[in-house]
Amino acid sequence: MSVSADFGGAQAVLAVEGEVDLISAPQLGVFFDAVTASGYPSVVLDLTGLDSIDAAGLTVIVSAASSLVASGGQLTIRTSLSEIAWVLDTSWLAAMINLELTGPNGETRPDQAAPASATSLRVALPGATRHLSGITPIPTDGRVLVGALSLVVALARALVNRADGASVTLRQHGRLSTVAASDQTILDMDAEQYAAGEGPCIDAANVGRSFHAEALDIEQRWPSFTPKARALGIRAVLSSPLLAGDGPVGALNIYSRTARAFEAHEQELATVFATEASAILTAADADLTDDQTANRIKRALRMREIIAEAQGIIMEREDIGENEAFDVMRHASQSSGKPLSEGAREVVDSTRRKPPGPGEDGPGDRRG
């Protein structure tokens, strides 16, 4: 992946080329943060030069877009990749960003200005869950973690039949809060449950099993919350627990304006998304203590040193530059399925002198 920035007037253009994957996605996030922190009110994220992007890259884009829009900025995303278009279309960002779809030669495609609808996405469920599985080994970074959960919310909202909104509730510092939601109404729905101290999302997060409110018009389990939900137009709720560590840490909540919207298939699908969100939280160690965080930082710094050392070894061996050496390591990681850090350690270990094996001459045992 390569990134270039062009600053002109009140607009900044951030152009990305190559592949955005698990390894390079955090770098894209850093570049985007640097541009937005410079104070430009209008940012163009030009992705027309991308060859491919995986789920980790999509989470960074969703998170970066959320950050800029929340700060009052204007964002334009220029892309020819349909997966970016439909992820943004199914999130709350759809009405707040400018999305420019381009053709193979970079021309704007006015006939395809609107991304794929949620209805057409439902037929692509197996592919969507495969994309989700790629999110799980993300770095422990609050922004990327929320971006990953936002992607889960967007996909759940799009792919669960008759879903009108979704959210993720997490327990942080002993309290439940919403870290990702599809729109303001869903945020209000969660807030009403927290204020009332009852509701399906609270029970799912506390008990560790799914709670299904089929028809709120006749629901009696949560007498304080139910009337407020009906007032907001919600008629059915499906909350699935998020599990990490020793027990439940939150819930994935799916809301519908239609009573009895969630049948067996929708409930099964909600469980799939909740399982993926749980895997994200488990991989990210979202509830680390201060000591654990310090140790992780130390390990990360040590791993960075090993990657840099391996990069230098490859540069010397193959007489290539720094970027080319990193590309060699990245492609080796992708083809072998091994993490980049593991491949780097193998490169470094290969340069260390091995002790002589049985029957081999040691340094002082050579015979003339």
Same domain, 144 and 112: no
Q: In total, how many domains does the chain have?
A: 3
Same domain, 24 and 84: yes
Instruction: Please report how the helices 55-70 and 82-89 are oriented relative to each other, as an axis angle in degrees rounded to 10.
Output: 50
Residue-wise pLDDT tens digits, 213-265: 999 999 999 999 999 999 999 999 999 999 987 789 999 999 999 999 999 88
Q: What is the pTM of this model?
A: 0.52
DSSP 123: G
CB count, 10 Å around CB of 261? 21
Same domain, 97 and 142: no
Nearest residue to 202 (alpha-carbon basis) of 17, 211, 350, 44: 211
Q: Residue 245 belongs to a domain with what CATH number? A: 3.30.450.40
CB count, 10 Å around CB of 287? 14
Same domain, 149 and 280: yes
Residue-wise pLDDT tens digits, 173-229: 788 999 888 888 999 999 999 999 999 999 999 999 999 999 999 999 999 999 999
Same domain, 134 and 280: yes
Instruction: Please report how the helices 340-349 and 322-336 are oriented relative to each other, as an axis angle in degrees rounded to 10.
Output: 110
Structure token pair of residue 348: 């470094």
Same domain, 258 and 152: yes
Structural domain includes residue 362: no
Same domain, 134 and 239: yes
Structural domain includes residue 232: yes
Contact in structure between 55 and 44 (CB atoms under 8 Å): no
Residue-level pLDDT at 26? 74
Asked which of 266, 284, 302 is the last residue of a domain, the reply is 284
Contact in structure between 174 and 200 (CB atoms under 8 Å): no
User: What string of DSSP letters covers 154-184?
Assistant: HHHHHHSTT--EEEEEEEETTEEEEEEESSH
Cα(124)–Cα(101) distance, rounded to whole angstroms? 20
Same domain, 141 and 264: yes
Domain that holds residue 34: 2-116
Instruction: Return all residues near 15 (Cβ < 8 A) that are at least 6 apart.
Output: 3, 4, 5, 6, 46, 48, 49
- Exposure string (b/e) for 49-66, b if CB count within 10 Å is 16 or more? bbeebbbbbbbbbbbbbb
Structural domain includes residue 132: yes
Contact in structure between 240 and 201 (CB atoms under 8 Å): no
Residue 300: alpha-carbon gap to chain centroid = 20
Same domain, 186 and 258: yes
Asked which of 234, 257, 284 is the last residue of a domain, the reply is 284
Cα(288)–Cα(294) distance, rounded to whole angstroms? 10
CB count, 10 Å around CB of 254? 31
The three-class DSSP label of residue 234 is coil
Q: Residue 327 belongs to a domain with what CATH number? A: 1.10.10.10
CA distances 156 to 20, 79, 250, Å, are 23, 23, 16
Structural domain includes residue 73: yes
Asked which of 257, 284, 311 is the last residue of a domain, the reply is 284
Structural domain includes residue 361: no
Q: Residue 105 belongs to a domain with what CATH number? A: 3.30.750.24
Same domain, 337 and 255: no
Structural domain includes residue 358: no
Same domain, 152 and 255: yes
Structural domain includes residue 357: no
CA distances 315 to 18, 147, 185, 223, 328, Å, are 21, 35, 54, 67, 10
Q: What is the pLDDT along the chain (368 residues), one digit of tens a residue?
A: 888 878 766 778 888 888 887 677 777 777 777 776 667 778 888 888 888 776 667 767 776 776 676 666 778 888 877 656 655 654 555 556 777 877 655 555 443 433 332 222 222 233 334 334 333 333 444 555 676 677 788 778 877 889 999 999 998 878 899 988 888 899 999 999 999 999 999 999 999 999 999 999 999 999 999 999 999 999 999 999 999 877 899 999 999 999 999 998 888 888 888 887 887 777 666 444 445 444 544 554 566 678 778 888 999 999 988 767 877 876 776 567 666 667 788 888 888 755 555 555 554 444 44
Structural domain includes residue 181: yes
Contact in structure between 52 and 20 (CB atoms under 8 Å): yes
Same domain, 92 and 143: no
